[in-house]
Amino acid sequence: MADLKNAPVPDAETLVDIYRRMIRIERNDDAIRKTVRLGRLTMPYYSARGQEVIPSTISALLNKEDQICTIYRGIHDMVAKDMPLRPLWAEIAGRIDGTCKGKGGPMHLTHPESGVMVTTGVVGSSMPIANGLAWAAKLDGSKRVAIAYFGDGASNIGAFHESLNLASLWKLPVIFVCQNNGFAEHTRYENATSVDFISKRAAGYAMPGFTVDGNDPVAMYAAAHTAIARARDGEGPTLLECKTFRFFGHVLGDDDFYMTKEEKAAAMADDPLPKFRAKLIADGHATEDRLAKMQADIEAEIADAQEFGLNSPFPSADELRRDIFAEEIPA
Amino acid sequence: MSEMVKMNGLQAINAAMFEAMEADPKVLVLGEDIADREGGGVTGTMRGLSTKFGDHRVCTTPISEQAIIGAAIGVAINGYKPVAEIMLMNFTTVAMDMIFNHAAKLRFMSGGQTSVPLTIRTLTGAGWQTAGQHADHLEGWFAHAAGIKVVCPSNPADYKGLLLSCIQDPDPCLFVETGGTLFVPGEVAVDQGPIPLGKARIVQEGTDVTIISYSTMMLRCQAALAGLAEAGISAELIDLRTISPWDKQAVLDSAAKTGRVVIVHEAVRNFGPGAEIAATINEELYGQLKGPVRRLGGPYSPVPFSKPLEDAFLVTPEQIVEAVKGLMG
Ligand SMILES: Cc1ncc(C[n+]2csc(CCOP(=O)(O)OP(=O)(O)O)c2C)c(N)n1
């Protein structure tokens, strides 16, 4: 079975690309949170602040046509996959120019052009569908891979186990990426999970499973590169357990009573973003100026997208009769 | 008259749980996030139970709906009375095999040897912009399954009394809580006991038209009453409370009296509970009606995210008034 000993190390430009995705996620998340707090966006928001490294590193290794299936806490996965921000903002604002005409909203964005195929609000449901995305890649004879993103809690749903078994049996080009932030809503990992590491569950399905520091881009790169290469080479699925933390609770407004103040403070002090930024500069991979310019460009992109989204018209009530089937439902 | 206290649906459910668990050591609770360590459930309805009755009777589970209902069935067959929480009604779909193929049918399939005194509590309703996978009213699905009772309260007293009845019932019950009704305070008798399942409540008597509803739409029907009175229409309003088995007698008596019926629910209109009720009224009262039975319900669409679309998805008090006026001719 695969191991990570000889996994490649990201070069300077890849590291900067990972950082670009991370800062785009973080700035966008910050703008969404502020807009929700101002009451200009009315939606349940599941911030992934703190989990940026995982999809950023994976997306740096993906091609545009590679596909993902993600979850309600998944806007970071979409932004990492280079989803354009204008239709993203219009969607979370429920407007007609949104990726889904405002019908899906923040828990259900779909944007096939970016490879964002399904976003589910049902825990555990990303994995079975990602298998199908991978199956299509195999049937097409393409080198495309599929990513299933999900949380630690989702590994306790039957669908997780069925999906890993099927993917292994059919040698599907799929990577199961568990973003283990230690909590499922208010329940601590250890109070709901039978194993100390979710990656151990891979053994039951005869596939490699790795637990990695999901806040460390280099460690993430090694694991993701290995898993993606296996998938592209027809060797089948891999389970990646990426350890991380979510800064803003389960849903915005959550007061985090279920964790200690110290625990939360320690996790937030370990913020992967400033750490990685400082390291890029210290290692000579990027200059302060370059990163500042990058950030300014991203902030401008977000401001434009926000403006666009919040000014797009709402869908008309006729939209309730469209997209149910290919043919419109008669009034 | 017993003393009344003001409380909302959450408090009423909490009170019912405390009473039921105190009265009967066989009553158990299981579900996601329900122990006090996790906040006593996402809406706090289970608050205090794990502290008072212990972790062996009040069990926070992994996110494993199938395993939750399966365990509840198995323990129920052995004489316990589990109250299982499925956080939202849409997540019952993950446990549908357990609910539909097993909980509902085991008494019949075993020739009456086993029974499943299980209560499944769940929550739903549109209006919170939670979109297509968190807000559906699926009571019609469950009402179509012989062997499980379906209960849809609309006010705090009913939340308490009907939950007590579900827990005591020898058969599986689905107890549907709604975001639109849970937070609304109401008067509850301090000694509010069980309210029989399958019995509707006449909320207001009237002679011109019968309006039948339940859950959140009850509140919208109540909001429509003033407009109807203003138009000089005497409306009889019935809160069905139990969808399966439903109170045919109360409905038919009222429909025979008024000759006009409007049924209002949040569930999608097509194949919704209103269709069954309307068909029964037509069968039983053919020739006595002054007009066709009208149904108001959700459009044939998933619950949309966008606020104006979501507003358009829900029946309004104005639409109820209009529908009644249309029947008055
Ligand atoms: C089948 C199902 N059950 C319950 C829920 C309610 N719910 C939404 S998120 C969540 C916690 C999920 O935790 P985890 O998988 O660890 O992901 P995280 O939210 O921490 O990213 C729960 C219980 C749901 N959406 N779907």
Residuewise pLDDT in 10s, chain A (331 residues): 678 888 999 999 999 999 999 999 999 999 999 999 999 999 999 999 999 999 999 999 999 999 999 999 999 999 999 999 999 999 999 999 999 999 999 999 999 999 999 999 999 999 999 999 999 999 999 999 999 999 999 999 999 999 999 999 999 999 999 999 999 999 999 999 999 999 999 999 999 999 999 999 999 999 999 999 999 999 999 999 999 999 999 999 988 899 999 999 999 999 999 999 999 999 999 999 999 999 999 999 999 999 999 999 999 999 999 999 999 999 9
Q: Give the confidence band of B44 by pLDDT, cuts at 50, 70, 90.
A: very high
From the list A103, A107, A154, which residue is nearest B309 (CB)?
A103
Ligand 1 pocket (Cβ < 6 Å) reads: A 73, 121-124, 150-154, 181, 183-185, 250; B 32, 63, 65, 87, 91, 94
CATH of domain B4-189: 3.40.50.970
The CATH class given to the B201-328 domain equals alpha beta
Touching check for A192 and chain B: CB below 8 Å?
Answer: yes
Pocket test for ligand 1, best of A119, A123, A242 (most atoms within 8 A of CB): A123
Instruction: Answer yes or no: do A185 and B306 touch at CB < 8 A.
Output: no
Chain A residues 33-92 with CB within 8 Å of chain B:
42-44
Please judge whether B38 and A187 are an interchain contact, meaning their C-beta atoms are less than 8 angstroms apart.
Answer: yes
Q: Name the residue of B43, B61, B63 whose CB sits within 8 Å of the most ligand 1 atoms, as the mutation to test its pocket.
A: B63
- The closest of A247, A154, A246, A259 to A198, measured between CA atoms, is A154
Nearest residue to B175 (alpha-carbon basis) of B147, B152, B158, B192:
B152
Residues B198-235: b if buried by 16+ CB within 10 A, e if exposed: bbbbebbebebbbbbbbbbbbbbbbebbebbeeeebeb
Find the CB nearest B301 among A44, A184, A324. A324
Question: Active-site residue B134, yes or no?
Answer: yes
| Residue A244 · residue A179 · CB < 8 Å | yes
What is the spatial distance between Cα B163 and Cα B150, in angstroms, rounded to a whole number?
A: 11
B97/chain A closest Cα distance in angstroms: 12
- Assess A186–B contact: CB distance below 8 Å, yes or no: yes
Residue A16 CA, ligand 1 centroid: distance in Å: 32
Q: What domains are there in chain A, each with its CATH number?
A: 12-305 (3.40.50.970)
Average pLDDT of the residues of chain B? 97
Q: Give the best residue of A122, A129, A260, A314 to mutate against chain B (max B CB count within 10 A).
A: A122
Q: In this predicted model, what pLDDT tens digit does every residue of B8-34 receive, in sequence order?
A: 999 999 999 999 999 999 999 999 999
Q: What distance separates the 2 farthest-apart alpha carbons in chain A? A: 63
Helix (H) or strand (E) holding B212: strand B209-213
- For testing contact with chain B, the best of A118, A186, A314 (most B CBs within 10 A): A186
Kind of pairing between the strands at A116-120 and A67-71: parallel
E-state strands within chain A: 67-71, 116-120, 146-151, 174-180, 183-184, 187-188, 209-213, 238-243
Q: What is the pLDDT of residues B69-85, one digit of tens each?
A: 999 999 999 999 999 99
Tokens of B87: 């956080």
Q: How near does any CA of chain A get to the CA of B323, in Å?
A: 17
For residues A198 and A186, is the Cβ–Cβ distance under 8 A? no
A87, A99 in Cβ contact below 8 A?
Answer: yes
* Strands, sheet with A146-151, edge to edge from the N-terminal-most edge strand: A116-120, A67-71, A146-151, A174-180, A238-243, A209-213
Cβ neighbours of A123 in B, within 8 Å = 63, 91
This complex has an ipTM of: 0.94
| B256 CA → ligand 1 middle, Å | 48
Residue ranges per domain, chain B? 4-189, 201-328
pLDDT band at B169 (very low <50, low <70, confident <90, very high): very high
Give A107-112's long-range contacts (Cβ < 8 A, gap of 24+): A107/A44, A107/A46, A107/A72, A107/B130, A107/B131, A107/B133, A107/B134, A107/B305, A108/B131, A108/B132, A108/B133, A108/B305, A109/A74, A109/A75, A109/A78, A109/A83, A111/A78, A111/A83, A111/A84, A111/A87
Q: How many CB atoms lie within 10 A of CB A20?
A: 19
pLDDT of residue A1: 61
Strand bridging mode B209-213 / B261-268: parallel
Backbone angle region of A268, left / alpha / beta, with phi > 0 → left and psi within -120 to 50 → alpha: alpha
CA-wise closest residue to A90 among A326, A317, A323, A311: A311
